[in-house]
């Protein structure tokens, strides 16, 4: 067992940036972007763009938002990142237009392969198409595609793709009804 754990070193994972850029982002994220004492969205958006995030117009980014690697992030127009959202983007995350990530939502692009003694990463991108709403404290797992205008309700966990105009709930999330606009 000891040899299995000591063989894991994370070197099989491409972070997409050099160590200097990673370290700079770590401190900028902690001191400015994630910091709940900084209410200025414009500064946060500017810093995210400086570190490679592609961000459309009209982003609302609330306090305590945590973004692992901005260079692996694309956000469309008129999106909302609620308080304490965590985008743990070890892989690419693409967020369409008019998307809402409510308080405490987690986009989790990776984990480990527990079937391999070396415990390597097994990451996959997440895509949230236009009009998606991820409820408070909901989790979207790696490799999931949330199709147009789908909803993942409060506290639910998406382990598989969400169909368009459909509302999902539970752990694992299952379809509960269609999303119909008045």
Say what the pLDDT of residue 36 is: 84
Q: Where are the domains of the chain?
A: 16-178
The mean predicted confidence, pLDDT, of the chain is 91
CA–CA gap between residue 44 and residue 50 (Å, rounded): 10
Higher pLDDT: 115 or 96? It is 96
Q: Is the pLDDT of residue 42 over 50?
A: yes
CA–CA gap between residue 121 and residue 142 (Å, rounded): 11
Say what the pLDDT of residue 9 is: 46
- Tell me if residue 159 falls in helix, strand or coil: coil
pTM of the entire predicted model? 0.90
Q: pLDDT for 68-107, tens place per residue?
A: 999 999 999 999 999 999 999 999 999 999 999 999 999 9
Domain 16-178 in CATH 3.30.470.20? The answer is no
Percent of the chain, pLDDT > 70? 93
Q: Hey, how many other C-beta atoms are within 10 angstroms of the C-beta on 158?
A: 24
CA–CA gap between residue 173 and residue 3 (Å, rounded): 37
Say what the pLDDT of residue 118 is: 86
Q: pLDDT for 123-145, tens place per residue?
A: 999 999 999 999 999 999 999 99
Bridge-based pairing state of the strands 100-101 and 133-134: parallel
Q: Is the dihedral of CA 142, 43, 40, 60 positive or negative?
A: negative
Say what the pLDDT of residue 12 is: 60
Q: pLDDT for 1-37, tens place per residue?
A: 343 333 344 456 788 888 999 999 999 999 998 988 8
């Amino acid at each position: 067992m000891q040899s299995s754990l000591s063989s894991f070193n994370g070197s099989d994972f491409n972070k997409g940036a050099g160590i200097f850029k990673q370290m700079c982002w770590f401190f900028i994220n902690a001191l400015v972007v994630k910091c709940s004492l900084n209410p200025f969205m414009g500064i946060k958006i500017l810093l995210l763009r400086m570190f490679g995030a592609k961000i459309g117009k009209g982003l609302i980014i609330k306090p305590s938002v945590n973004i692992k690697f901005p260079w692996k992030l694309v956000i469309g127009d008129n999106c909302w990142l609620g308080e304490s959202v965590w985008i743990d983007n070890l892989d690419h995350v693409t967020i369409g237009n008019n998307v809402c990530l409510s308080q405490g939502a987690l986009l989790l692009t990776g984990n480990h392969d527990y079937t391999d003694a070396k415990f390597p990463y097994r990451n996959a991108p997440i895509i949230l198409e236009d009009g998606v709403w991820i409820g408070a404290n909901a989790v979207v797992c790696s490799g999931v595609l949330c199709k147009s205008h789908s909803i993942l309700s409060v506290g639910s966990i998406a382990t598989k793709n969400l169909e368009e105009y459909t509302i999902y709930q539970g752990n694992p999330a299952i379809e509960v009804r269609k999303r119909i606009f008045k």
